[in-house]
Amino acid sequence: MIDIHTHILPALDHGPEEINESIIIAREAVENNIQTVFATPHFRPGVYENEGLTVKEAVLDFNVRLRNESIPLHVKSGHEMTLYPGMVEDLLSGRLLPLEDTNYVLVEIQSDDSFALIKTLFYSMQMEGYIPIITHPERLGAYPETEEPLYYFVSHGALAQMSAAAVAGRNGRKRQRFALKLLRKNLAHFIASQADSIPFRLKPAYEQTAAVLGLKKSRDMQENTKRLLVGSPALVDPPEPLHKKRAFFKRT
């Protein structure tokens, strides 16, 4: 399996503090049949400013350590980035990293991000050939411009990634139902651990997806991680709004 969103690198954000903790997480990943992970430390101006070169060097050093420890895990580079003016320029300059050398970009939307900011930056990214992947899509609330922001952005070319813990039910039944609803409505396209510790929950998340939504949906989620790894287009079914509008009919 491939995990596109982890915080496995030490001392960069809220992940492990020391390299030995990262090694423990890597061993756990392998035990859970994960062969490749993307190390995606946060980039949040004023909080986590992990420069692209710093992340690439950390990934290179960590892969060397994994080989020395005979741990068969491949680590790729990336960022989980918040939105801010100038981020597209930072992507183009290499200060911010897409997922390895692909055009996929992992984006974390904050609760105080305006609809206009998201729309503008997503459009700018897409004009430069990038594909935004929204992490934590369940956090998107309604905006004055639309009650269905996730549906709007997915309809306009963005993708979304659900947490494995939510899909597997580790964050409670309510969150699990909502996570599965997003998958059912074709509003999420990837499942990832978002791991900053252990355990990984990719396998139970895929199993739960298959049990509730069918084997094809589960396989499509896994296929999309493989496609992302080589920079190919993801499998995308037409999205549906979360809430159906009631139809009112006049009596004749």
State the pLDDT at residue 129: 98
Alpha-carbon distance 177 to 74, whole Å?
Answer: 32
Q: Strands of the chain (E only): list them.
A: 2-6, 36-39, 42-44, 48-49, 74-77, 80-82, 104-108, 131-135, 159-163, 190-192
Q: Which region among 3-7, 68-72, 136-140 has the lowest average model confidence (pLDDT)?
A: 136-140
pLDDT tens sequence across 101-133: 899 999 999 988 999 999 999 999 999 999 999
pLDDT band at 245 (very low <50, low <70, confident <90, very high): low
Read off φ and ψ for residue 57, nearest 5 degrees: -65, -40
Q: Which domains does the chain have, with CATH numbers?
A: 2-229 (3.20.20.140)
Average pLDDT value over all residues in the chain: 92
* H or E segment to which residue 75 belongs: strand 74-77
% helix / strand / coil in the chain, to the nearest 5?
40, 15, 40
Query: Can you say how many angstroms the Cα of residue 110 is from the centroid of all Cα atoms in its chain?
Result: 14
State the pLDDT at residue 188: 96
Read off φ and ψ for residue 82, nearest 5 degrees: -85, 165
Q: Please report where in the chains the tokens 């809430």 appear, as a residue.
A: 243
State the pLDDT at residue 16: 86
- pLDDT of 252 over the 70 cut: no
